[in-house]
Every structure is written in structure tokens, then in C-alpha cells.
């Protein structure tokens, strides 16, 4: 009896050890082990990460870790959202009897080299896609993807310090802090522990006070680099007060309605669905889902022909109000994660910096 | 037959016609080898000038017409097709906007140009007229733009019509597809591109190869012409040069957007 009790309590202890995710741990790794370790992650899924293809940096499936650009000096053109809310895919197949969801794009993946702001972007998308009723495609892709975060260095357009997204303490399995001499590695999930466990010999358990000092130095140095800032805290009020501002007309006249700002924004997630029939007389076909944009004229067009936001000023106002005010009131944090992509992308310089500055000062940018 | 079983929709009677143009749109349909047998199996193809020399010319459910109306014979032909067809689809840039042969539309110098090319006292077999799109003569129900049309877009429209459903139009600029294809924006390098003014549907094929959009899908209603001209001028291009390039494929459809610039 006693023996059985001991046995069962031991079993419980083992189960707890497996299931229990302890507090975040920080390990240390020498750079020479990085490639070997990342290669070993193939066991957890197909490897994805930022690579250069035809002169454009993009998240893509990789054949070898040597393809990866983990320098942290550049962001891929299209955010990591595309791996969870794909740009274009077949949702379901239909015939006269019903429909059949297509989850064929869901696979086990390990996404390497995701910057902190990008991880914040995914966490905001979680609020939208995983709240009941969850989007099964997003949820499937999310559940099956491990995120290996990497530290980065601000670009000319980075606003992550203003947005509070320059550091991240959740949403990753592992996070690699590159301090040149060595990496500090944050473990953020039980899957992350499993990954470490695979190649324990690469990691040092002890992080010295001196190591931490180097990390703090790195952060202080990095904090000096930022060139742009936005007072995100005051933006909800500013937006509220700017509803009838002439600033919108100025930007509306300039806006090309190309939609690029929405495609490159990590928190934009709108899509359209379209039924495509097979080339047959039978009623069979598929439903396709494609990213859409509130900058396009038909976005707010409804049955009967009414368009809620036909004017460019209304479309811009919707986008910026959503990013800087309403997203925050609904989910607690603004819809801008400060990646700076809109700053780099808009051909006519309409972006979160120029718009917020114009609204605050009441003056439009000088030509 | 039980109520559970449903008869397949009757096969629609289709006609495919070619007016003045390169015949690239008919060719694209024939070149869609993967779907060609399915297409011929699911429609009653009455007339297809590039594919068959035995046409039946009667009532049609849908007529697809490519090319511009460029002779008085074609003018009569489009009026006849319109009478016989329940639905008329203008297929390709020439049928939609007049095509490159309509790039000088609006200059009121057609006679001069004709004479310059063919000389004086030429006797034509068929009397030529200034190239115009189909809707200059008849009502068009659906437009399938492109030079040539795109397989995906064309078959999405064709299959909607086979099933008696309403086809979708694409009012989005080429830039939408550029970003879906993760293509670098040429405008950021201060290079000429008409993308923001032009309807997508081509899968951004030119910008994806580092070439500018030249506008072969025709203008979108929502294009911000004034600001885009201003932007291109800031790259060092003259208004005249931008206008010349946008007219290449713009034909009749571009004129309204170039007023008051």
C-alpha cells in the first residue's frame, strides 16, 4: 500500500515535471554553436526565416540555415503575419452536398529570426483571430508554429521604443539576444525547453553578473539610436479631437490608395473571400481567401450600392483611428507596433509618423 | 429521378469572336491546356473563330469578343453579335478600351494618320474606321481586361457565367498584387510605374520582373491621377511623356481621367 502510494506520488511528480512550465529561464550560448543548434530544430518542423530573394527580404522556407539573415538590421517587407494569416489560400471545397474545409497548408514549422515588434504583432493578431469563435486556419497555423525570436537593431524608421515593443516577454519559444561575444537565450515555452533539451551541450546554465551588465549596456546603447518617436499614450485623445481636422483632406489628396501600407502593417488582417467554380457544369468549386485593404474603394461597399467610406479621407481616417485609438480601447494596446514599415513603404509619405505629427501640430508636412 | 438528384445546369451556348487585335486573348483560352477539355465539355461552343472553321451562328447565351472595332464590317458584326447574345463580354484590352491602336484617340487626326501610313488614293478592301472599344457601339455586360487576359481571371469569369452567377470585377490597383507577391515598389526608387492607376489581374507580372507597369489592364476608377502625375513629375518626367505612356494602353478609357489634370 505504502509502496503503491510512493510509486503514484512519484508518477505525479514526473508528470508535473513534464507539464510544469517554470518561470522564464535565461541561458547562454557561444555563437559558434548557433548554426548547429538551429539546424537541429528541423526535428520540430520545417524551418522558416528571413531570407533575401530577388533583392527583397522575406520570410520563406529555407533549405539551409546559411540562407538566413539574422543580422537584425532589416525587417522583411511583409510581416510574419503572412505565415499565420496567409496572403491567399483555399479555405474550403464545395459541392452540392456541402463544404469541406481545406487545412492542407497547416504544417509543423519553426520560424527563426522573428524580431520583438513582430512577436508583438502576432500577439495582437491572436486577440483578433483566437478569440471565440477562433479562426481555425489561423489557430492551426499558430499552434503548429514555433517562434524563435532574435534581437535586432533599430532602423531609421523604427518606433518600437515609443510603442513599447522593443522588448518582448511572451509569444516566443526561444529568444536569442545577440551580444556579439555570446547569445543570451530566453526560454519562453515548454516547447522551447524541449528544443534546448535536444542540444543541451550548446548551452551554459550560468549567466554571470558581468554577462547581464553587457546586456544592459547593449540596451542603453541601442536606446540612443532611435530617430523617431510617437507619443502613443496621447494618440487616442488626439484622434477623438481630430475627427473633423483638415489634415485628413491634405492626406486624402495625396493618397494613391495603393494599399501598400495595409499589406505591410503587422496588425492589418482584413481579407476577402471569393467562390471560384471548377470548369464543369457540376456545382463544385473552392472558396479562396485573399488579403484585402480598407484603402481600396470597394472595401466599405455594401449590397444595394452604398459605400460607407467612398472618400479617401474617410478611408485614411478609419485606418489611423483604428490603429491609434479603437484597437487600443478594444484590446488594451494600440494597433501600431512601431515596426516603421509604413514609413519605409508609402510612396507619398503618408505614415504613422507624418499623420500623428500633423494631427498633433495641426499643420501639414512641408512639401 | 428523386428530388435528391439534381440535373446539371444546361450547357450555355457560347461564341468567341475576334476583331482587330493580335488574337492573343483567344490564344490564351486555347493555351489553357489544363482546362481546355473541361471548358469544351461544359459549354456548347457554337462559334470560336480561332478553334473551329465550322461555326453555327445563332442565338447565344454568352459572346466573348476580343479586338477593337476598326472597320465598318466589324461595326456591323458587333451589332449582330449583340442582337444574338444574352450576355456580351469584352475580352482583352482592345475590346475593353480600344487597345494600342487607339492610343491617339481624341487627337482628331485619324484621317491624317491613315494617310501618312497608307498614302493617297488607296483603295481598301474593307473600309477602316478609327479603332474603338466595343462599348462605343453596343452595351457590354462584363469586361475582362488585360493584354492578354489572365487565365485565372478569365476562367473565374467564364465559370461564373457557366453557373449563371454574377462575375466579380477587380477594382484594385496592380500594387495590391505587387505586395501579395512581395515585390519591391519601383516608385520608392523614383522609377516610372503606373501601378496605382491601373487595374490588377495580371498578378503584377511586370513589376515582379523589375519592369514598370505600363497599364495594359486599363485605368481604375479610384486612381489618384493628379497626385500620381505629380509624383512621376518629381522623378524628372514631363507631363507630356507620362501622358504618352499612359495612353499606350489607355485608349478610350483613359481620356476622362486625363481631363483637368
For residue A96, give the DSSP letter: T
Round to whole Å and give the CA distance between A64 and A1. 55
Question: What is the mean predicted confidence (pLDDT) over B178-197?
Answer: 98
Q: What is the β-pairing status of strands B44-48 and B13-18?
A: parallel
Cell of A224: 540612443
DSSP per residue, B129-162:
EEEE-GGGTS--SEEE--SS--HHHHHHHHHHHH
Among B222, B217, B221, B209, which residue's Cα sits nearest to residue B246? Answer: B217
Please answer yes or no on whether A277 and B172 come within 8 Å at the CB atom: no
Round to whole Å and give the CA distance between A195 and A210. 26
Please answer yes or no on whether B222 and A297 come within 8 Å at the CB atom: yes
The count of other CB atoms within 10 Å of the CB of residue B212 is 15
Question: What is the mean predicted confidence (pLDDT) over B42-47?
Answer: 97
**A257, A297 in Cβ contact below 8 A?**
yes
Q: Which residues of B touch A (CB under 8 A)?
A: 6, 8-11, 35, 38-39, 41-42, 155-156, 158-160, 162-163, 165, 168, 171-173, 175-176, 178-180, 182-185, 187-188, 195-196, 221-224, 226-228, 231
Cell of B106: 481624341
For residue A80, give the DSSP letter: G
What is the model's pLDDT at position B163?
94
Among A87, A83, A84, A61, which residue's Cα sits nearest to residue A136? Answer: A84
Please answer yes or no on whether A279 and B162 come within 8 Å at the CB atom: yes
Cα→Cα distances A339→A162, A309, B49, Å? 10, 27, 55
Distance (Å) from the C-alpha of residue B73 to the closest C-alpha of chain A? 34
How far does chain B reach from its first CA to its final CA, in angstroms? 64
- Chains A, B: CB contacts within 8 A come to 107
Cell of B109: 487626326
The residue whose grid cell reads 504544417 is A107
What is the model's pLDDT at position B6?
54
List the single residue in A279, A281, A283 with the smallest CB-CB distance to B11: A281
Cell of B140: 457590354
The count of other CB atoms within 10 Å of the CB of residue A362 is 10
Identify the closest residue of chain A to B187 by CA–CA distance: A347
CA A126 distance to own-chain centroid: 10
Please answer yes or no on whether B176 and A259 come within 8 Å at the CB atom: yes
Q: Is the dihedral of CA A307, A312, A318, A319 positive or negative?
A: positive
Q: What is the β-pairing status of strands A203-204 and A25-29?
A: antiparallel
The residue whose grid cell reads 476622362 is B256
- Chain B residue numbers with beta carbons less than 8 Å from the beta carbon of A277 are 159-160, 162-163, 165
> Residue B8 — very low, low, confident or very high, per pLDDT cuts 50/70/90?
low
What is the model's pLDDT at position A112?
98
Question: What is the mean predicted confidence (pLDDT) over B99-118?
Answer: 95
Whether B45 has a pLDDT exceeding 90, the answer reads: yes
Q: Which residues of A touch B (CB under 8 A)?
A: 53, 55-56, 58, 77-78, 87-88, 96, 253-260, 263-264, 274, 276-283, 285, 290-291, 293, 296-298, 312, 344-345, 347-348
Round to whole Å and give the CA distance between A65 and A49. 9
List, in order of start, the domains of chain B with CATH numbers.
13-162 (3.40.50.700), 174-258 (no CATH)
What is the model's pLDDT at position A23?
58
Please answer yes or no on whether A277 and B179 come within 8 Å at the CB atom: no
- Chain B residue numbers with beta carbons less than 8 Å from the beta carbon of A56 are 182-184
Q: What is the β-pairing status of strands A109-114 and A46-53?
A: parallel
pLDDT tens, residue by residue, A131-157: 999 999 999 999 999 999 999 999 999
- Chain B residue numbers with beta carbons less than 8 Å from the beta carbon of A296 are 171-172, 176, 222
What is the model's pLDDT at position B261?
86
Please answer yes or no on whether A256 and B227 come within 8 Å at the CB atom: yes
Distance (Å) from the C-alpha of residue A296 to the closest C-alpha of chain B? 6
Q: Spell out the per-residue pLDDT of chain A, length 367, in tens.
A: 445 444 544 444 444 444 444 556 999 999 999 999 999 999 999 999 999 999 999 999 999 999 999 999 999 999 999 999 999 999 999 999 999 999 999 999 999 999 999 999 999 999 999 999 999 999 999 999 999 999 999 999 999 999 999 999 999 999 999 999 999 999 999 999 999 999 999 999 999 999 999 999 999 999 999 999 999 999 999 999 999 999 999 999 999 999 999 999 999 999 999 999 999 999 999 999 999 999 999 999 999 999 999 999 999 999 999 999 999 999 999 999 999 999 999 999 999 999 999 999 988 887 7
Task: Give which of A266, A280, A350 to mutate to test B binding, by max B Cβ within 10 Å.
Answer: A280
Amino acid at each position: 500500500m505504502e509502496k503503491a502510494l510512493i510509486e503514484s506520488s512519484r508518477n505525479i511528480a514526473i508528470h508535473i515535471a513534464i507539464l510544469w512550465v517554470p518561470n522564464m529561464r535565461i541561458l547562454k550560448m557561444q555563437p559558434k554553436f548557433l548554426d548547429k543548434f538551429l539546424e537541429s530544430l528541423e526535428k520540430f518542423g520545417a524551418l522558416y526565416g528571413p531570407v533575401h530573394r530577388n533583392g527583397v527580404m522575406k520570410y520563406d522556407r529555407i533549405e539551409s540555415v546559411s540562407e538566413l539573415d539574422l543580422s537584425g538590421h532589416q525587417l522583411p517587407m511583409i510581416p510574419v503575419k503572412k505565415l499565420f494569416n496567409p496572403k491567399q489560400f483555399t479555405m474550403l471545397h464545395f459541392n452540392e452536398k456541402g463544404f469541406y474545409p481545406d487545412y492542407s497548408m497547416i504544417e509543423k514549422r519553426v520560424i527563426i529570426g522573428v524580431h520583438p515588434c513582430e512577436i508583438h504583432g502576432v500577439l495582437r493578431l491572436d486577440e483578433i483571430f483566437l478569440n471565440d469563435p477562433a479562426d481555425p486556419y489561423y489557430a492551426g497555423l499558430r499552434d503548429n508554429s514555433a517562434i524563435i525570436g532574435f534581437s535586432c537593431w533599430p532602423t531609421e524608421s523604427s518606433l518600437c521604443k515609443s510603442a513599447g515593443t522593443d522588448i518582448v516577454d511572451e509569444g516566443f519559444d526561444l529568444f536569442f539576444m545577440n551580444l556579439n561575444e555570446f547569445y543570451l537565450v530566453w526560454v519562453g515555452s515548454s516547447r522551447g525547453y524541449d528544443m534546448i533539451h535536444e542540444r543541451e551541450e550548446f548551452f551554459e546554465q550560468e549567466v554571470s553578473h558581468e554577462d547581464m551588465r553587457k546586456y544592459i549596456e547593449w540596451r542603453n546603447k541601442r536606446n540612443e539610436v532611435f530617430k523617431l518617436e510617437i507619443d502613443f499614450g496621447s494618440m487616442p485623445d488626439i484622434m477623438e479631437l481630430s475627427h473633423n481636422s483638415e489634415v485628413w483632406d491634405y492626406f486624402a489628396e495625396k493618397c494613391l490608395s495603393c494599399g501598400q501600407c495595409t499589406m505591410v502593417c503587422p496588425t492589418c488582417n482584413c481579407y476577402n473571400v471569393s467562390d471560384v467554380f471548377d470548369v464543369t457544369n457540376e456545382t463544385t468549386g473552392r472558396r479562396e481567401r485573399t488579403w484585402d485593404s480598407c484603402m481600396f474603394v470597394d472595401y466599405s461597399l455594401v449590397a444595394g450600392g452604398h459605400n460607407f467610406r467612398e472618400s479617401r479621407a474617410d478611408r485614411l481616417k478609419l485606418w489611423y483611428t483604428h490603429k491609434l485609438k479603437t484597437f487600443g480601447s478594444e484590446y488594451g494596446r494600440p494597433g501600431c507596433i512601431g515596426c516603421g514599415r509604413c514609413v519605409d513603404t508609402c510612396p507619398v509619405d503618408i505614415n504613422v509618423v507624418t499623420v500623428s505629427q500633423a494631427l498633433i501640430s495641426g499643420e501639414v508636412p512641408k512639401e | 429521378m428523386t428530388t435528391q438528384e439534381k440535373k446539371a445546369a444546361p450547357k450555355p451556348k457560347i461564341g468567341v469572336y475576334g476583331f482587330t487585335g493580335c488574337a492573343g486573348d483567344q490564344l490564351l483560352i486555347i493555351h489553357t491546356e489544363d482546362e481546355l477539355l473541361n471548358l469544351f465539355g461544359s459549354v456548347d461552343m457554337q462559334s470560336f473563330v480561332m478553334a473551329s472553321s465550322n461555326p453555327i451562328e445563332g442565338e447565344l447565351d454568352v459572346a466573348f469578343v476580343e479586338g477593337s472595332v476598326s472597320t465598318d464590317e466589324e461595326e456591323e458584326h458587333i451589332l449582330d453579335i449583340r442582337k444574338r447574345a444574352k450576355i456580351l463580354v469584352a475580352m482583352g484590352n482592345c475590346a475593353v478600351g480600344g487597345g494600342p491602336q487607339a492610343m491617339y484617340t481624341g487627337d482628331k487626326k485619324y484621317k491624317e494618320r491613315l494617310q501618312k501610313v497608307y498614302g493617297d488614293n488607296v483603295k481598301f478592301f474593307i473600309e477602316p474606321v478609327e479603332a474603338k472599344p466595343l462599348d462605343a457601339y453596343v452595351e457590354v455586360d462584363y469586361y475582362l481586361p488585360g493584354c492578354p487576359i489572365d487565365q485565372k481571371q478569365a476562367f473565374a469569369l467564364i465559370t461564373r457565367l457557366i453557373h449563371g452567377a454574377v462575375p466579380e470585377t477587380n477594382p484594385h490597383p496592380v500594387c495590391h498584387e505587387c505586395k501579395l507577391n512581395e515585390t519591391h515598389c519601383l516608385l520608392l526608387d523614383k522609377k516610372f510605374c503606373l501601378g496605382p492607376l491601373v487595374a490588377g489581374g495580371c498578378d503584377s507580372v511586370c513589376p515582379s520582373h523589375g519592369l514598370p507597369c505600363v497599364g495594359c489592364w486599363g485605368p481604375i476608377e479610384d486612381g489618384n491621377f493628379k497626385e500620381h502625375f505629380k509624383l512621376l513629375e518629381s522623378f524628372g518626367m514631363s507631363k507630356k511623356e507620362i501622358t504618352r505612356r499612359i495612353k499606350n494602353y489607355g485608349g478610350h478609357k483613359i481620356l476622362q481621367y486625363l481631363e483637368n489634370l
